[in-house]
Each structure stands twice: as structure tokens, then as C-alpha cells.
């Protein structure tokens, strides 16, 4: 029947129910799941490997920028939260509070916090390490010789969330948080811009997610910051996802926490600081940008394995030979720096193929008796599907594979970029923008900054959940991009 929908590996489809499709893709791709701990996820090996690749690439970038990694305590003294009113408003209301340091059994044998082990001052689990890193910087920075000081931490943080969604909003998540200090405004502002560019580089050139670079409007700027820069991506349902932010705090943070130093003239100055973070949330963005109705589509540069190999074993006769040939293909790929994995479980071949499709493995290789005998292999691109199926000599494949992977990256990036550009509509006034969304517009709306006033902005945010995503650099601060957001 021509109007019957084609069967898809994921139910529901994106069109039918985007939020539920998202959850089903994560499940089908075996990336993460909910845990017995309220609001916290378990990141499964296939999802965690993506985070490891993000970490590896971004870590190399920041080390090239002379950022040093360090590790700060998980717990934050209550006193630090009290010190900074803005900080508490921004973060710390909903957070995990540690009040006891020992368990004991009550009369019925039930375990609970020991009354005798109540802490005089409770601790909170870091929702960010800003205060404890700031307090440390205040001790480490004495002279202009100690600046710039560029510190980064890869860690877990907690913010008690009521409504959670895997990767996008969970009570615990993984991230990196960078906190840099400089002698003067010039150093701080340059760094602030440089870190945003590093994020854009990571997200576009490794995750194949196109972004709009811009500056937050004053209302959306991080509490206490002079300026917040952001990269905003468009999901396939047209909503925005803020993928990373870079804040310039001016001297505000240094003054509140005491980061002062003897400057080149021998006088006391406060440092200019920046902070910048990117979290496991971006994995959610990647899924919502690239996934399709058959599951995940992994961008090759952060894919756990860009090449997946399926041995096709029709009978036991050639089994060992085929597996040995597959192992050799993996070894050859490894030797040219390409991660590859064989599925040699005893599942059925079609199940293995659909497994790799749902996981979004960029290139699937199939090897049976014929391929083994001829020294060939059959390969299919996940982004183009079965029409891209082709066979070639294994030696040719080794010469071509890096080019194929690069082409998949470019194809995914360009497809997402075209989608984003097609779904940005211009509106001359705020009323026009609201009309667009009321009549079903999915996507972003760009409006000249001259027609906006604060009261109207607050109203549309409250009434329609439409927020100013950023003032894009490309328009030199003359326009604002609006969208509904994750």
C-alpha cells in the first residue's frame, strides 16, 4: 500500500512523538538507562565510549591552550554557598546535602544515619566547583607572575532535578569545568572568546553538530557574569539546545571570593576570570541532531567504533577462516588508526545488522565465505543506507576508509546545517514572532534587536516558553535568535 508508512526500527518515529523517539533511540543503541537512584543515569559502555572520545579530543585542545587539569573535592562547605548570594540563587537550592558521616542500625536492625555522627556544618555535593576552585585560586594567586592561571576539571556534578531525561537533564551528570584567571580585561575577554571557539570546533568538527555562535542577552547571561557566550544547536524537532557556554566574569567573581594579586606596579589588583563548561548533555544533542527512525547515527569522529564488522557464517565449515580474516581486517584498520569491532556473538545475522543500524555504526562491513576467499569485503554507510552498499578488495578499503569516514562526517554536518538554516525564519517584530510559533513554526526565529524590549521578552518567555537563545556573532549584535529550548 503506497500510503502505508515504511517499517522503522524505532517506534514511535520522530514525527509521531519526538521525545519518546529520543528515549527509544537511547535504549535501542544501548547508550544509557535510568538507575535505581532517582534522576541519575547509568551510562552504558556504548554511550560512555562517546564521552571518552569527546573528552580525549577536547582535552587535547585545551592542553594546547595551556590549560592544566586538576582535581577538587566533591563536597562544598556550606559556608561557601552562603558567601555568594548570586551563586546560591543560580545553583544551590536544589542540591544533595550531606548531613551525617556514619550509618548505624536502629533497634529493628534498619540502617540509617547515626545520630551521633551528625555533621556540625553540612556539606553539599558540588553543583559546580566554582566556589571551591575560586577559593583555591585566591590562595594560589599572589603575584602577576602567577597569572594567567588556567585550571580545568573533568568530574561529576549534582543538581537535584525533578523532571529528568537521560543525557539532557539528570540529577548527576559528567562535565568539564574550566576556570581561568588573568591580569586584565583583555586577557579575560580573549580567553572567553577562545574557549567558545574551542567548543564550536569540538561540536562541529568532531560531533558534526552545526552551531550558532553568539552572545546571551543580558537577561540570559549567567548570574554574576559580565558576558556569556554560547553555541546553540537545532534539534530535528526545531528546538534549541545550548551546547556549551563560556562566561567572562570581569572582576566580579574575583572580588566576591578574593582572587587578588600584586600587579606589575606593586599595587593590589583583582583578577579577571572566565569559566566554561561542557557536559554529557551534548551527547543528547548529538542524538537529536543525527538520529533517524532506524536509531542512532554516530558521527564517525566520536563513534565508539566507526567500523563494525559482521562475519556471515552460513555453516561451520569456514567459520574459523572467516573469523581469522575478520580479525586481520580489524588489525589492518587499527594499524591506520581506525577503531573497529567485530560482532562475533552467536546471534542471527539479520539481528546483528539491525543491531549495528540501531547503534548507528558509521560503516558496516559484512564478510562471508566469498569475501574471505576473494580477499574482498562488502561495506554500507549508515548515513546513506542500503543504496551505498559496495564491495571491494580489502586493500582498496584500507586506502578509502578514512575518506569515507570524512565524507560521512561532512554529510551529517551539512545535512544538519541545511536543516537548521531552512528552519530559521525572520520576523520584523515580536508580535510577528509569536504569530509564527502560534501557527506551528518549528525552528528558530530571528528578530532585529531594535524592536525588542525587556518586558515583552519576559512575557513571551513566560507565556510561550520562547527564549532569546543568543545574539549571533554573524549579525554583530544587531539581531536575536529565538527558540523553544531543551
Q: Is 427 in the site for a second copy (CB under 8 A)?
A: no
Q: Does 328 contact a second copy by CB under 8 A?
A: no
**Which range touches a second copy (CB under 8 A), out of 31-39, 285-293, 391-399, 423-431?**
31-39
Residue 151 binds to a second copy (criterion: CB under 8 A): yes
Residue 331 interacting with a second copy (CB under 8 A): no
142 binds a second copy (CB under 8 A): no
Residues contacting 367, CB < 8 A, separation 6+: 309, 310, 311, 312, 322, 325, 326, 329, 377, 378
Q: Is 255 in the site for a second copy (CB under 8 A)?
A: no
Binding-site member from 9, 61, 65, 88 for a second copy (CB under 8 A): 88
Cis peptide, bond prior to residue 448, ω within 30 of zero:
no
Residues paired with residue 215 on neighbouring β-strands, in sequence order: 229, 471
Q: Which is nearer to a second copy, 44 or 459 (CB)?
A: 44
Q: Is 49 in the site for a second copy (CB under 8 A)?
A: yes
Residue 116 vs 439, nearer CB to a second copy: 116
Q: Are 221 and 229 in contact (CB under 8 A)?
A: no
The cell numbers describing 85, all together, are 548570594
Residues 120-139 that bind a second copy (CB under 8 A): 122-125, 132, 135-136
CA-derived radius of gyration, the chain: 26
> Is position 68 an interface residue for a second copy (rule: CB under 8 A)?
yes
139's CB contacts (< 8 A; 6+ apart) are: none
Measured from the CB atom, is 152 or 217 closer to a second copy? 152
Task: State how far the Cα of 239 lies from the Cα of 441, in Å rounded to an integer.
Answer: 10
Q: Does 42 bind a second copy (CB under 8 A)?
A: yes
Among 2, 3, 4, 36, binds a second copy (CB under 8 A): 36
Chain centre distance of CA 243:
6
Find where cell 527512525 sits.
Answer: 293
Binding mask 97-116 for a second copy (x = CB under 8 A): xxxxxxxx-----xxxx---
Cβ 96 to a second copy, closest distance in Å?
A: 5
- Residue 52 near a second copy by CB under 8 A: yes
Interacting positions 339-378 with a second copy (CB under 8 A): 345-347
Name the segment binding a second copy (CB under 8 A); options: 117-125, 271-279, 401-409, 460-468. 117-125
Closest approach of Cβ 88 to a second copy, in Å? 7
403 scored as a contact of a second copy (CB under 8 A): no
Nearest to 403 by CA among 371, 376, 379, 375: 379
Q: Are 158 and 172 in contact (CB under 8 A)?
A: yes
Cα–Cα distance for residue pair 118/278, rounded to 1 Å: 35
Is 10 near a second copy (CB under 8 A)?
no
Q: Could you tell me how many residues of this chain bind a second copy (CB under 8 A)?
A: 63
81 contributes a contact to a second copy by CB under 8 A: yes
Kindly state whether residue 287 participates in binding a second copy, applying the rule CB under 8 A: no
234 binds a second copy (CB under 8 A): no
User: Sign (positive/negative) of CA torsion 248, 253, 255, 260?
Assistant: negative
Cβ at position 76, least distance to a second copy in Å:
8
Stretches 12-20, 94-102, 177-185, 265-273: which one binds a second copy (CB under 8 A)?
Answer: 94-102
Q: Contacting a second copy (CB under 8 A), which of 16, 17, 70, 422?
A: 70
Cell of 21: 523517539
What is the rounded CA–CA span in Å between residue 392 and residue 55?
Answer: 34
Q: How far is the CB of 257 from a second copy (least distance, A)?
A: 12
Strands 97-100 and 41-43: unpaired
Binding flag, residue 307, a second copy (CB under 8 A) = no
Length of the chain: 486
Q: Looking at the DSSP assignment, which residues form a beta bridge with residue 155?
A: 175
Q: Exactly one of 10, 54, 95, 241 binds a second copy (CB under 8 A); which one?
A: 95
Q: Are 88 and 76 in contact (CB under 8 A)?
A: no
Dihedral of the alpha carbons of 100, 106, 109, 114, in degrees to the nearest 10: 20
Closer Cβ to a second copy, 103 or 336, answer by number: 103
- How far apart CA 343 and CA 310 sit, in angstroms, is 6
Piece of the chain touching a second copy by CB under 8 A; list 86-94, 184-192, 244-252, 455-463: 86-94
Phi and psi at residue 86, to the nearest 5°: -60, -35
Q: Which residues pair with 268 in a beta bridge?
A: 262
Whether the CB-CB separation of 239 and 117 falls below 8 Å is answered with: no
Positions in the binding site for a second copy (CB under 8 A): 35-37, 40-45, 48-49, 51-52, 68-78, 80-82, 88, 92-104, 110-113, 122-125, 132, 135-136, 145, 151, 155-156, 158, 160, 172, 174, 345-347
Amino acid at each position: 500500500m503506497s500510503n502505508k508508512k515504511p517499517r522503522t526500527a524505532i517506534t514511535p518515529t520522530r514525527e509521531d512523538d519526538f521525545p519518546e523517539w529520543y528515549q527509544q533511540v537511547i535504549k535501542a543503541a544501548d547508550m544509557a538507562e535510568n538507575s535505581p537512584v532517582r534522576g541519575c543515569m547509568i551510562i552504558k559502555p556504548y554511550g560512555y565510549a562517546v564521552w571518552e572520545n569527546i573528552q580525549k579530543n577536547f582535552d587535547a585542545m585545551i592542553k594546547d591552550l595551556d590549560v592544566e587539569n586538576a582535581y577538587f573535592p566533591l563536597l562544598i562547605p556550606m559556608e561557601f554557598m552562603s558567601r555568594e548570594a548570586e551563586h546560591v540563587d543560580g545553583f544551590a537550592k536544589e542540591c544533595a546535602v550531606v548531613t551525617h558521616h556514619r550509618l548505624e542500625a536502629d533497634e529493628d536492625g534498619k540502617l540509617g544515619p547515626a545520630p551521633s555522627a551528625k555533621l556540625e556544618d553540612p556539606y553539599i555535593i558540588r553543583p559546580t566547583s566554582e566556589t571551591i576552585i575560586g577559593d583555591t585560586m585566591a590562595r594560589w594567586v599572589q603575584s602577576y607572575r602567577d597569572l594567567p592561571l588556567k585550571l580545568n576539571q573533568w568530574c561529576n556534578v549534582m543538581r537535584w532535578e525533578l523532571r529528568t531525561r537521560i543525557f539532557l537533564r539528570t540529577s548527576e551528570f559528567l562535565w568539564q569545568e574550566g576556570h581561568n584567571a588573568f591580569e586584565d580585561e583583555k586577557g579575560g575577554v580573549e580567553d572567553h572568546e577562545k574557549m567558545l571557539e574551542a567548543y564550536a570546533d569540538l561540536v562541529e568538527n568532531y560531533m558534526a553538530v552545526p552551531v550558532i555562535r553568539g552572545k546571551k542577552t543580558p537577561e540570559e547571561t549567567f548570574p554574576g557574569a559580565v558576558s556569556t557566550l554560547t553555541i546553540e544547536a537545532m534539534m530535528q524537532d526545531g528546538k534549541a539546545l545550548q551546547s556549551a557556554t563560556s562566561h567572562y566574569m570581569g572582576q566580579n567573581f574575583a572580588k566576591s571570593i578574593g582572587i587578588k594579586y600584586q600587579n606589575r606596579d606593586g599595587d593590589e589588583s583583582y583578577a579577571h576570570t572566565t569559566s566554561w563548561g561542557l557536559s554529557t548533555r551534548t551527547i543528547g544533542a548529538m542524538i537529536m541532531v543525527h538520529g533517524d527512525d532506524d536509531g542512532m547515527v554516530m558521527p564517525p569522529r566520536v563513534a565508539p567504533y566507526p567500523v563494525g564488522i559482521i562475519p556471515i557464517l552460513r555453516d561451520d565449515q569456514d567459520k574459523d577462516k572467516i573469523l581469522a580474516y575478520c580479525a586481520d581486517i580489524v588489525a589492518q584498520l587499527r594499524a591506520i588508526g581506525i577503531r573497529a569491532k567485530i560482532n562475533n556473538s552467536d546471534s542471527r545475522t539479520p539481528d546483528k545488522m539491525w543491531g549495528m543500524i540501531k547503534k548507528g555504526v558509521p560503516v558496516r562491513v559484512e564478510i562471508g565465505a566469498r569475501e574471505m576467499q576473494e580477499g574482498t569485503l562488502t561495506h554500507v554507510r549508515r548515513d546513506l543506507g542500503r543504496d551505498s552498499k559496495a564491495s571491494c578488495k580489502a586493500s582498496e578499503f584500507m586506502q578509502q576508509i578514512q575518506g569515507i569516514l570524512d565524507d560521512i562526517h561532512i554529510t551529517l554536518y551539512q545535512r544538519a546545517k541545511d536543516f537548521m538554516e531552512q528552519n530559521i525564519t525572520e520576523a520584523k517584530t515580536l508580535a510577528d514572532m509569536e504569530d509564527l510559533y502560534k501557527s506551528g513554526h518549528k525552528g528558530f526565529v530571528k528578530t532585529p534587536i531594535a524592536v525588542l524590549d525587556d518586558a515583552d521578552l519576559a512575557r513571551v518567555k513566560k507565556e510561550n516558553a520562547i527564549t532569546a537563545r543568543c545574539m549571533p556573532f554573524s549579525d554583530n549584535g544587531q539581531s536575536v535568535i529565538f527558540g523553544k529550548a531543551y
